[in-house]
């Protein structure tokens, strides 16, 4: 016990070297094996010794790690994140992970009724409505898109009011407000509600808090352009141009394009020229080059037109060469890649761009060729030379064919034929096109042998040319070989199923062959392609009539009239069908409409006059027979009908004057003399003896003539008996009840001969053919020419789309 007790030496307190010999047994590592507390700490996970009753101090005077000093446990390490706290109680257990505190408390439940949560949900709903509005617009449902946009606008205003009540105004979501207003303005514009769209755009533009809102003045300019308020459109385009920085080059070019088009619409061609020239200097484009040519054409500047055409030709197409899509070797991998990209979206876009460039160049050449030189032929030659020196070499042949078409428009068929014959020694595709047009021309001139030879040349040059096959079928059809013509039409359809000319002509062929079911099938297929073709509708109706189905025929004729309501032939045909069915009122309606649109159709005039006679309105029939007599002044029957109507209506004096006038014009007409004798007898005039003498002399001369012509045959007596019987029946009516009581038979009979009295209209069948005033004869096969003579020479000026903010 005593050997462990160390007594402090009695030394001076000022001894500088005191304490150097002091020894702390804590740092005695040699005795650690015998230290039970240390061994226990090593074997367990406590991490420190049990707290000692006395604090241990190091030789430097700092607390030992794990010791307790002033009621605070010093951490085992200097890193505070180990789980220790400054306010640890004296004697607390070592718990760096905080396991003694128990499980974590549950998450706080969301308060659905809190203002912040309501604002968040409302904002989400507004965004969904904007998206739904845009989707509806892209699907073509403009009305639904506008309703969604309006609903989004209402909810967005509610959202702004709630946000102002909860937070400061600086926290308002300006991007959401801008999106809602811009979408609403766009939907108003799409629904052609232009005043509402302009008001909404004004709200956006005047709000200084919206950045880059000034560019929306382009959209306002587009609306004014649609309203044809060109001055305001130019004003807003220029305001937008001033507010768009120069770094946005593409957008500025589009605005300049719209300004130039607006100047063209106002007739300010010099200002339009300045705009398009600026575009062609900064960023040349096909659209700007074409509009520049239009402007120079309007002012009549020939030299500038040539320069502008050369600029248009020089615009880079920015597409890859076609050789890129041709495999250079037999590598399977390369072939698969080329096959994959041969018709992808990029390739389709390249084709569309090239087709648009060719359209602009061809239209511009056709526009300026007749005016840039002394004659259109020289102008076309200049355009052809310029095109040949450019990247559009293949268009030169098309320009030559258009030159031939221009000769056709000027009725110079010989020059057109000579121009087309120049292509006989060209490559197969051009030769086939020229031969097709030559066949078409000769067919129209009814030179079927020449048409057939050139059709053969076109077919031999390109066996898969449907137009050439159709023309060949037409020449065979004209020669009456309908079976062979049908084979050519079928081959044309196999090469191009959309060749409507071949399908129409094969229907006509089956109709000629009396294969009505097959013809009807062809025309019904064609009707599915050409919904509003008057010729197709008529053919279907005509086939149903031939199949003795008048109800279907009338139904299809009604569809035809809805397409061409002023077609007099269709109206008269429908009237004839109703007349054959016994519906006189409907027949009268359509016959009258036909007469109103074409008052020179003898069959219609004849039916209307007979209808009024049949309904006892003879005075109304007079105007129709008078018109017929004007159309056919050498036909005495119309004037006899006028006189008969006067007599039946009781106007005997007018009837007598009419018969006298007829007798002066046709002194050898027996029927006129008979009625003159009857009327003079009834009225008691002295001229009756004169007319009776003339009548006897004419009847005697007629008998002698008939005897000579028939060489003593007995038929003359029967004819004279029938003729006398006809006159006697009319005379019996006059002698009995008098001329006031005579009536026209209700049955419609055939027109009488020249020497017979004309009492009613004919029931002859009307011509079944239908002629479209803008197309070929319906009963003649269609001719498929490669180029239509009446094709449009001008392309519409196109405006840029609405510019959206970036």
Query: Is the per-residue pLDDT at 486 higher than 90?
Result: yes
If pLDDT is split at 50, 70 and 90, which confidence band does 790 have? very low
Q: Which of 165-179, 682-696, 721-735 is predicted least confidently?
A: 721-735
Average pLDDT over residues 323-334: 70
Q: Which of 366-375, 453-462, 515-524, 702-711 is predicted least confidently?
A: 702-711
Q: DSSP readout, 55-67?
A: --B-TTSPBPTT-
Query: Is the per-residue pLDDT at 617 higher than 80?
Result: yes
Query: Is the per-residue pLDDT at 666 higher than 50?
Result: yes
Closest to 218 in 3D by CA, of 190, 179, 257: 257
Structure confidence at residue 738 (pLDDT)? 35
Query: Is the per-residue pLDDT at 536 higher than 70?
Result: yes
Query: Is the per-residue pLDDT at 196 higher than 70?
Result: yes
Mean pLDDT across the chain:
77
743 or 489, greater pLDDT: 489
If pLDDT is split at 50, 70 and 90, which confidence band does 268 have? very high
Closest to 401 in 3D by CA, of 430, 360, 442, 370: 430
Three-state SS at 714: coil
Average pLDDT over residues 639-661: 87
Q: Which of 8-22, 140-154, 323-337, 697-711 is predicted least confidently?
A: 8-22
If pLDDT is split at 50, 70 and 90, which confidence band does 425 have? low
> Any alpha helices (H) in 711-787, and if so which ranges?
715-735
Three-state SS at 517: helix
Query: Is the per-residue pLDDT at 82 higher than 80?
Result: no
Structure confidence at residue 145 (pLDDT)? 92
Largest CA distance in the chain: 196
109 or 298, greater pLDDT: 298
Structure confidence at residue 429 (pLDDT)? 67
Distance from C-alpha of 546 to C-alpha of 578, rounded to nearest angstrom: 15
Average pLDDT over residues 199-209: 88
90 or 775, greater pLDDT: 90
Spell 469-485 as b/e; 16+ CB within 10 A means b: bbbbbbbbbbeeebeeb
Average pLDDT over residues 278-282: 91
Give pTM, 2 decimals: 0.54
> Any alpha helices (H) in 564-687, and if so which ranges?
568-580, 584-597, 602-614, 618-631, 636-648, 652-665, 670-683
Which H or E element spans position 545? helix 534-546
Category of 356 on φ-ψ map: left (φ > 0), alpha (ψ -120 to 50) or beta: alpha
If pLDDT is split at 50, 70 and 90, which confidence band does 731 have? very low
The burial of 251, by beta-carbon neighbours within 10 Å (0-12 exposed, 13-18 middle, 19 or more buried), is given as: buried
Average pLDDT over residues 341-357: 83
Torsion of CA 787, 791, 797, 803, to 10 degrees: -60
CB 56 within 8 A of CB 64: yes
If pLDDT is split at 50, 70 and 90, which confidence band does 370 have? confident
If pLDDT is split at 50, 70 and 90, which confidence band does 619 have? confident
Q: Which domains does the chain have, with CATH numbers?
A: 423-522 (1.25.40.10)
Q: Which of 126-140, 391-405, 755-769 is predicted least confidently?
A: 755-769
Structure confidence at residue 441 (pLDDT)? 83
Query: Is the per-residue pLDDT at 52 higher than 80?
Result: no
Q: What percent of the residues of the chain are helix, what percent strand, and what percent coil, each to the nearest 5?
A: 65, 0, 35
Structure confidence at residue 396 (pLDDT)? 79
Structure confidence at residue 110 (pLDDT)? 62
743 or 93, greater pLDDT: 93
CA 489 to chain centre: 29
E runs forming strands in 38-177: 68-69, 72-73
Query: Is the per-residue pLDDT at 491 higher than 70?
Result: yes
Average pLDDT over residues 51-69: 47
If pLDDT is split at 50, 70 and 90, which confidence band does 719 have? very low
Structure confidence at residue 517 (pLDDT)? 93
């Amino acid at each position: 016990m005593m050997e462990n007790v160390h007594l402090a030496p009695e030394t001076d307190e000022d001894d500088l070297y005191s304490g150097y010999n002091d020894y702390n047994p804590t740092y005695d590592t040699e005795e650690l094996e015998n230290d039970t507390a240390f061994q226990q700490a090593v074997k367990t996970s406590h991490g420190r010794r049990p707290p000692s009753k006395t604090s241990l101090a190091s030789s430097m005077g700092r607390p030992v790690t794990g010791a307790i000093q002033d009621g605070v446990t010093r951490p085992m390490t200097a890193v505070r994140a180990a789980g220790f706290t400054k306010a640890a109680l004296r004697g607390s257990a070592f718990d760096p992970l905080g396991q003694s505190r128990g499980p974590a408390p549950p998450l706080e439940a969301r308060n659905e009724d809190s203002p912040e949560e309501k604002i968040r949900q409302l904002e989400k709903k507004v965004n969904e409505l904007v998206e739904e509005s845009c989707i509806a617009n892209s699907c073509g449902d403009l009305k639904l898109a506008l309703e969604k946009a309006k609903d989004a606008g209402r909810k967005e205003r509610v959202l702004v009011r709630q946000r102002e009540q909860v937070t400061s105004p600086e926290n308002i979501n300006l991007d959401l407000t801008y999106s809602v207003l811009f979408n609403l303005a766009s939907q108003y514009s799409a629904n052609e509600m232009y005043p509402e769209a302009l008001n909404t755009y004004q709200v956006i533009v005047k709000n200084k808090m919206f950045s880059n809102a000034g560019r929306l003045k382009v959209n306002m300019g587009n609306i004014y352009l649609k309203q044809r308020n060109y001055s305001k459109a130019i004003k807003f385009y220029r305001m937008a141009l001033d507010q768009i920085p120069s770094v946005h080059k593409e957008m500025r070019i589009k605005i300049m394009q719209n300004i130039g088009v607006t100047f063209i619409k106002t007739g300010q061609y010099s200002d339009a020229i300045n705009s398009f020239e600026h575009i062609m200097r900064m960023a040349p484009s096909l659209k700007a080059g074409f509009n520049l040519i239009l402007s120079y054409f309007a002012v009549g500047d020939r030299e500038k037109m040539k320069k502008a055409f050369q600029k248009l030709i020089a615009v880079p197409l920015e597409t890859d060469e076609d050789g890129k899509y041709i495999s250079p070797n037999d590598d399977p991998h390369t072939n698969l890649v080329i096959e994959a990209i041969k018709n992808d979206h990029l390739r389709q876009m390249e084709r569309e761009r090239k087709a648009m460039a060719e359209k602009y160049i061809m239209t511009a050449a056709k526009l300026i060729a007749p005016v840039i030189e002394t004659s259109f032929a020289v102008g076309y030659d200049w355009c052809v030379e310029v095109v040949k020196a450019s990247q559009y070499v293949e268009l030169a042949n098309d320009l030559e064919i258009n030159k031939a078409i221009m000769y056709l428009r000027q009725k110079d068929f010989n020059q057109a034929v000579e121009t087309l014959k120049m292509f006989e020694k060209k490559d197969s595709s051009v030769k086939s096109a020229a031969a097709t047009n030559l066949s078409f021309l000769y067919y129209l001139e009814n030179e079927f042998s020449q048409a057939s030879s050139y059709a053969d040349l076109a077919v031999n040059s390109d066996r898969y040319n449907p137009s050439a096959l159709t023309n060949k079928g037409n020449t065979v059809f004209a020669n009456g070989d309908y079976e062979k013509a049908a084979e050519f039409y079928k081959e044309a359809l196999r090469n191009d199923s959309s060749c409507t000319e071949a399908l129409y002509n094969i229907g006509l062929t089956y109709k000629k062959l009396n294969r009505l079911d097959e013809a009807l099938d062809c025309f019904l297929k064609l009707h599915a392609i050409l919904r509003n073709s008057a010729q197709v509708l008529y053919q279907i109706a005509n086939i149903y009539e031939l199949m003795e189905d008048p109800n279907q025929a009338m139904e299809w004729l009604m569809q035809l009239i809805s397409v061409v309501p002023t077609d007099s032939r269709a109206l008269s045909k429908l009237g004839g069908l109703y007349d054959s069915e016994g519906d006189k009122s409907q027949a009268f309606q359509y016959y009258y409409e036909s007469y109103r649109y074409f008052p020179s159709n003898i069959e219609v005039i004849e039916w209307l006059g007979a209808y009024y006679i049949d309904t006892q309105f003879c005075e109304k029939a007079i105007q129709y027979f008078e018109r017929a007599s004007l159309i056919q002044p050498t036909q005495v029957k119309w004037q006899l009908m006028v006189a008969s109507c006067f007599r039946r209506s009781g106007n005997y004096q007018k009837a007598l004057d009419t018969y006298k006038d007829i007798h002066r014009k046709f002194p050898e007409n027996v029927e006129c003399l008979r009625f003159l004798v009857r009327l003079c007898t009834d009225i008691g005039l002295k001229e009756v003896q004169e007319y009776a003498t003339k009548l006897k002399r004419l009847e005697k001369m007629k008998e002698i003539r008939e005897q000579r012509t028939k060489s003593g045959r007995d038929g003359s007596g029967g004819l004279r008996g029938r003729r006398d019987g006809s006159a006697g029946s009319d005379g019996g009516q006059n002698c009995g009840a008098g001329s006031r009581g005579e009536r026209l038979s209700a049955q419609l009979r055939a027109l009488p001969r020249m020497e017979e009295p004309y009492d009613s209209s004919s029931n002859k069948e009307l011509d079944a053919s239908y002629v479209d005033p803008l197309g070929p004869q319906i009963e003649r096969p269609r001719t498929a020419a490669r180029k239509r003579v009446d094709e449009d020479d001008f392309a519409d000026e196109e405006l840029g789309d609405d510019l959206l903010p970036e």
